[in-house]
Structure 1
């Protein structure tokens, strides 16, 4: 029998991951009474962030883009210890971000935390990337972040609001084949720098970014065998350990930035990559 490929090993390991530590009920309830929107949270890093914030006591809004993903979103909700709702809203459309905020306000009447987590990647040589790829990634990763943040501002609890953008190591240290994806994450990186100066005086919030390195998610597993051949040697050089991050390790960094005691942390680009990239 032929040995398993890297991609097959990754898929197998994904199916065997233990439950996130954030499902534990002993986590201090430091975000109790807070309401958090996490875009793109029916799977992957977004779902892990939802579990982390919920474990800290926040009521969370699970977001999914299409009806076919509702069972996935419901499964995430079933794993949460705090109140939650699932909202179907496509962040790649002009109306989806506003619908997500409206559903949140209709349910809880307040909004404290916005995590711009949703994103999609395309891994292709530059010559093969298309305008359809451009529209899909720019509309979701870039415009979706812009519109969700814009729609949220009037509702953020003044003096307590937290905006956390999920960027990517690809914004500052991209591998080959990620021209458009890296560009959109560079856009999110720049949004964070701009908003951290512009928004706190107006809305009493903080704006920060978390940049994951390679992370063991369903989306990463779908990168494809050729891209994994490029990425695996990079992953193997990670100083803390030759592995990918677990989603809950990224989620913890987000949770930290959402805490009340993080009120003086603003404009930070927190890289959670095990030291793979040091700025």
Structure 2
């Protein structure tokens, strides 16, 4: 695993525990979980004729300056990091963001809220999950500066505060003088990624309760797939969590089937849908 080079630094920081990229706990098979755990933004986009989704999609973003080839110019481009799959041991590279300025790159908002930033997916076995790497997010529209600090880095308060200070200074050096507001001096710290995402979703009018229900539905879907061949066990599980089975739940299942296409691994989901109808 490699240390993170902070944007704007000439040298790589010391390779201490908190600065290393690690795969977060709960690493899981990406093919089965990516669609089921897709953020509300994807749900609304993929099921337009379903009932109103539990969480609305982020608002459209304005066009940004683009590089040659049509890609947006990023104020803080991601860096390639080498990681090793904890399941099969395959080494591969993933892009890792350390700073996202939504004022300069609003097009990253949907990717961030949709769980597409700082995640890994093994090209060999398909296992995937979020990366335990620090991330500073600036949302000037809502006077928000938040930083996700992995729990490992939180164990060393001096190191974590130094890292937060370096990230904040790097961001502030990129801003014009009039944009350097007081809230930038006190970034909100998060050691839990889900809570970090909840804080950002609140700016879109989405409550933590709505997000938790969507996650509960995703978890239920995963459990029910394992019971697709056992009608009695399936009925018992549905009875226990019947409050989660609604139009949004079926929209999630339909979205997963649509994204999977002809993948043979989708057979249990097809059987589950047939048994639920």
TM-score (norm 1): 0.27
TM-score (norm 2): 0.27
